[in-house]
Amino acid sequence: MTDKLLTSQEAARYLGVSLSTLLRWTYAGELVSIKMGEKRRSPRRFQEADLDTFIQRRKTKLAEDK
């Protein structure tokens, strides 16, 4: 199954967060992304399935913290 690849802006909108928050989570290793080049500033793409998994993990963590 191929998942649609989203740009950083599309992924941020999908999650309902700012671009800077999305990138912070990505650089911290909390959110899976695909680099489209070898340079540090190469564009990143995000799979919808990875974003959905991230949402579920955050919901679970928030529920456990209560």
pLDDT confidence bin for 66, thresholds 50/70/90: low
Phi, psi of 44 (to 5 degrees): -115, 150
- The total number of structural domains in the chain stands at 1
Average pLDDT over residues 57-62: 82
| Domain around 35 | 5-65
Q: Which residues are registered as beta bridge partners of 35?
A: 44
User: If you average pLDDT over residues 9-15, what whole number do you get?
Assistant: 97
**Which tokens is 49 given?**
């399935």
CA 8 to chain centre: 8
**Vertex 13, ends 7 and 18: CA angle to 5°?**
95
Which of 2-16, 35-49, 51-65 has the lowest average pLDDT?
51-65
Q: Which residue has the higher pLDDT, 18 or 61?
A: 18
CA distance 40 to 38: 7
We report the CATH number of the domain holding residue 56 as 1.10.1660.10
Provide the pLDDT for residue 1.
46
